Each structure stands twice: as C-alpha cells, then as structure tokens.
C-alpha cells in the first residue's frame, strides 16, 4: 500500500465527523469512502475537494508509505 488516509481520519476525528457526514458534505460515493479504508487511489479531484473542504494541504489528507512499511 503506497498511501494512507490516516491524516484525513485524524482530521475527521478532531471535527467529530463520521464517514457518512463526509460523504454527504462532499457528494462522494460509497465506493470512494471504501477506497479510503482500503488505502486505494482516489482521483486528484477528490483530493482537491477534501483539501478545500478541510482547508488543508494534501499532506494533511494523505501520507506516503514506502514499500514494505506495514505500519499504516
């Protein structure tokens, strides 16, 4: 897995926000939310919407995990 969405999940936790709240607020589909849980790729458009919504930079939403790093 090359990327982790843990920083985004931390932001959501800080704002007492559930995945359903995020999905509704940004108009995301259930499959996109599932991709976050699985650490799968999402489009740059989705990342842009997340950054705009939270008022943060991409590194506050995702983090890169080098190959072989199983902690994340």
- Going from the N-terminus, what domains does the chain have, and what CATH number goes with each? 3-64 (1.10.260.40)
In the prediction, which pLDDT does 3 show? 87
Residue written as token pair 């995990």: 65
Q: What string of pLDDT tens digits covers the 72 residues of the chain?
A: 578 999 999 999 999 999 999 999 999 999 999 999 998 999 999 999 999 999 999 999 999 988 765 555
Alpha helices in the chain (DSSP H): 6-14, 19-26, 30-38, 44-54
Q: According to the model, what pLDDT value does residue 71 have? A: 56
């Amino acid at each position: 897995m090359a990327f982790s969405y843990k920083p985004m999940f931390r932001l959501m936790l800080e704002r007492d926000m559930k995945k359903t709240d995020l999905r509704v607020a940004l108009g995301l589909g259930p499959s996109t939310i599932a991709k976050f849980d699985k650490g799968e790729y999402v489009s740059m458009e989705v990342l842009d919407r997340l950054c705009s919504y939270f008022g943060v930079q991409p590194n506050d939403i995702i983090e890169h995990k080098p190959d072989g790093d199983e902690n994340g």
